[in-house]
């Protein structure tokens, strides 16, 4: 991966920082970059799968005009606690699968936070 970067070769380490640390920072940067990309793609796949399940299990969503309002109004019912998401998953509910995807997406930028501890000065 490092070889692909045009900046990788020309970068000079900041004053007082050894080459070893610079390499380490670079590795962390690439790791974060991959983590973010994978997280976004994976969660989006889960979201799309959840929507497919939702429509497959509710054939009237294709034709009924009356079905829409309860789904997108202020009092709409959908899982919004970890337990209700898990319960929904057990019943194979589409919205619960969508929620898992969305929670995965929310967790993506948080997960990369853990990687950041490495380049700190010791």
Binding interface with other proteins (CB under 8 A): 5-7, 10-12, 14, 25-26, 29-30, 32-34, 36-37, 39-40, 43-44, 47-48, 50-51, 54-55, 58, 61-65, 67-68, 71-74, 76, 78, 80-81, 95, 98-99, 101-103, 105-110, 112-113, 116, 119, 121
To other proteins, the closest distance from the beta carbon of 104 in angstroms equals 10
CA–CA separation, 41 and 50 (whole Å):
14
To other proteins, the closest distance from the beta carbon of 19 in angstroms equals 15
Burial (0-12, 13-18, 19+ Cβ within 10 Å), 112:
middle
Phi, psi dihedrals of residue 18, rounded to the nearest 5°: -70, 165
- The residue among 20 and 110 lying less far from other proteins, judged by its C-beta, is 110
Burial (0-12, 13-18, 19+ Cβ within 10 Å), 66:
exposed
To other proteins, the closest distance from the beta carbon of 27 in angstroms equals 12
């Amino acid at each position: 991966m490092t070889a692909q970067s045009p900046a990788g070769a020309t970068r000079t380490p900041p004053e007082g920082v050894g080459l070893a640390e610079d390499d380490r920072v670079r590795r962390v940067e690439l790791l974060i970059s991959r983590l973010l990309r994978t997280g976004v793609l994976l969660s989006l796949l889960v979201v799309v799968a959840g929507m497919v399940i939702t429509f497959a299990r509710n054939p009237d969503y294709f034709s009924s005009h009356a079905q829409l309002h309860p789904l997108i109004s202020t009092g709409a019912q959908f899982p919004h606690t970890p337990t209700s998401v898990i319960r929904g998953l057990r019943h194979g509910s589409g919205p619960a699968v969508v929620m898992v995807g969305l929670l995965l997406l929310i967790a993506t930028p948080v997960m990369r936070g853990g990687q950041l501890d490495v380049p700190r000065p010791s």
